[in-house]
Amino acid sequence: MFLNKKNLAAIGQTKASMPSEKSFTFPERIIQFGTGVLLRGLPDHIIHQANQDGSYDGRIVVVQSTGTAAVAEFAKQDNLYTLCVKGLQDGQEVEQYELINVISRVCAASTQWQEILALAASPDLEVLISNTTEVGITAGTDLITDQPPQTFPTKVCAFLYQRYQAFQCAADKGLVILPTELISNNGQELKKYVLEAANRSGLETGFIDWIEQANDFCDTLVDRIVPGKLPAAEQASTSALLGYEDNLMIMAEPYYLWAISCNQDRVKEKLRFAANQAQVHVVPSIEKFKEIKLRLLNGTHTFSCAPAILAGFSTVKEALQNTEFKAFVSGLMEEIILCMQGPAFADSELQDFAKQVLDRFGNPNLEHRWASISLNFTSKMHMRNVPLLEASVQREGKVLPCMVLGFAAYVLFMHSKEEGGQFIQEGYGERIVLQDESAAAVLGYLQQADQGLLSLLHDTTLWGVDLSTFPGFAAQVQEAIAQIEKHGFLQAFASRA
């Protein structure tokens, strides 16, 4: 039986939680640019849950920015889809299924642009959400009169201009705009390009003022692993379990975060769906959440990557199933927490986040390969972890031991060999082509006979600071390298723990 609204009654008893009949009648309060799995697995899921618990009463009109294929796929299922939530939560396995009905319709910008613009005149509309990938928020040369405009910011400008005209520049008819693209200051970046489009299109100053004063472009941070469509075998077994076929079924991990920067009451009122969601934070600044994620999640990933590869692990979950390696990751996060402690962060929120990271890393349903995590390894080490090394020196007078091991393992991993213009690491059970723009420079240092490590640490172009000036750091790294080469990573960690 295929999933659609007509078949809901026939589906009957299923392990998936079913939406209320009333929620099918809610007005369209949100327009969303993007049909991707992150949107369906995070903001759409949150809004759906708010519809079901009574804290919100709005559905989403989705715009497919490029192409038309998604329109037909969603229409076949009356815009219904199943979200499978699988992973670890507080160390326990979670497996939940929700039938999501928050999407009212899906429109293609290429063929239904006038229909999309007509929505701008709806008095019910309050929010615009987007995820058009990191390259979606960019400058363009297109105009709002194009059918449709080519770039996403110009599409937003055209939509807002239609609304501005429909409501005769009413100050209370602006939108809350929530881009979820993974770029810094995404709200302000989108606003900049929308204003550029308005000026490029020769629009009046009254509209420019209305954009500035009546609309709220919010910076946001989203965090959830949403792998998307299930593997074929798992899709088949899940369909059998639930009692219906769903070609739009996706999977997500239990953890999620949506941080939204705002300091106006009118924004909070329009974001009523956040009221009962503990992991949705509508706050004046999201910098705290960005910093915690950057250091404790991304930084831990980067410090752990080379150690895992050197220890012979291919995936994150495989590494976390090893007791000794899990102890290393836990010890590493304790060091990171120590370096982050201060008035900006409550110790409890750092500890709670670290526990969630362990759950996420250990998720048995995710195949996250360390080789993929090593992409742009040197720049990640610089941006995510060098500030932690500096903080460790400032607080403790030295770099703490797990960080030393992580950096030493990075050095060993980067000691690759060049083949036909590529840099290859194959000394630890897997052949990995380094995708790191600094691979040649790092290898050049490490091939020096005597002072190679010191020269590498000294390079301020790579690190932004001279790491060789950190008290004892060069000697610590050299000793850690020797221990790893002699005993292997796990034994080297055990001897230092």
Domain holding 368: CATH number?
A: 1.10.1040.10
Q: What are 417's strand-pairing partners?
A: 424
Same-domain check for residues 157 and 92: yes
Closest CA to 47 of 27, 75, 72: 27
> For residue 22, what are the contacts with CB-CB under 8 A and spacing of at least 6?
none
Closest CA to 131 of 186, 85, 79: 186
Assess if residue 320 is contained within a domain.
Answer: yes
SS3 353: helix
Cα 70 to Cα 96, 346, 445, distances in angstroms: 25, 44, 50
Same-domain check for residues 346 and 447: yes
Residue 17, pLDDT score: 94
Looking at 293-346, list the stretches that DSSP marks H as alpha helix, in order from N- to C-terminal side. 300-310, 316-320, 323-340
Same-domain check for residues 113 and 169: yes
> For residue 256, what are the contacts with CB-CB under 8 A and spacing of at least 6?
42, 45, 46, 222, 223, 224, 279
> For residue 338, what are the contacts with CB-CB under 8 A and spacing of at least 6?
392, 395, 396, 400
Residue 11, pLDDT score: 87
**What is the rounded distance in angstroms from the CA atom of residue 483 to the CA atom of residue 486?**
5
Assess if residue 2 is contained within a domain.
Answer: no
Where are the extended beta strands (E) located within 148-231? 176-179, 216-217, 220-223
Same-domain check for residues 351 and 259: no
Where are the extended beta strands (E) located within 224-360? 250-252, 257-261, 280-283
Assess if residue 237 is contained within a domain.
Answer: yes
* Lookup: tokens for 442: 């790092």
CB 395 within 8 A of CB 339: yes
Residue 265 burial (CB < 10 Å; 0-12/13-18/19+)? exposed
Assess if residue 293 is contained within a domain.
Answer: yes
* Lookup: tokens for 198: 């308005």
Same-domain check for residues 331 and 455: yes
What is the CATH number for 97?
3.40.50.720
Same-domain check for residues 306 and 360: yes
SS3 301: helix
Closest CA to 36 of 109, 135, 113, 133: 133
Closest CA to 232 of 223, 245, 219, 221: 245
The distance of Cα 336 from the centroid of its chain, to the nearest Å, equals: 21
Domain final residue, candidates 228, 250, 285: 285
Same-domain check for residues 298 and 188: no
Assess if residue 61 is contained within a domain.
Answer: yes
Same-domain check for residues 371 and 275: no
- For 374, other C-beta atoms within 10 Å of its C-beta total 25
Same-domain check for residues 311 and 429: yes
Assess if residue 117 is contained within a domain.
Answer: yes
Assess if residue 257 is contained within a domain.
Answer: yes
**What is the rounded distance in angstroms from the CA atom of residue 334 to the CA atom of residue 25?**
49
Cα 283 to Cα 264, 268, 286, 287, distances in angstroms: 10, 9, 7, 10
Per-residue pLDDT of the chain (497 residues; tens, 9 = 90+): 999 999 998 887 789 999 999 999 999 999 999 999 999 999 999 999 999 999 999 999 999 988 889 999 999 999 999 999 999 999 999 999 999 999 999 999 999 999 999 999 999 999 999 999 878 999 999 999 999 999 999 999 999 999 999 999 999 999 999 999 999 999 999 999 999 999 999 999 999 999 999 999 999 999 999 999 999 999 999 999 999 999 999 999 999 999 999 988 999 999 999 999 999 999 999 999 999 999 999 999 999 999 999 999 999 999 999 999 999 999 999 999 999 999 999 999 999 999 999 999 999 999 999 999 999 999 999 999 999 999 999 999 999 999 999 999 999 999 999 999 999 999 888 899 999 999 999 999 999 977 899 999 999 999 999 999 999 999 999 999 999 999 999 999 998 75
Angle between helices 205-214 and 186-200 (to 10 degrees): 170
Assess if residue 253 is contained within a domain.
Answer: yes
User: What does pTM read for this prediction?
Assistant: 0.93
Same-domain check for residues 184 and 70: yes
**What is the rounded distance in angstroms from the CA atom of residue 364 to the CA atom of residue 254?**
12
Domain final residue, candidates 252, 285, 318: 285
Same-domain check for residues 372 and 419: yes
Closest CA to 382 of 484, 294, 469, 479: 294
Same-domain check for residues 306 and 405: yes
> For residue 59, what are the contacts with CB-CB under 8 A and spacing of at least 6?
23, 26, 27, 28, 29, 30, 51, 101, 102, 103, 104
Domain final residue, candidates 233, 254, 285: 285
Give residue 343's domain range. Answer: 288-496
Count the domains in the chain: 2
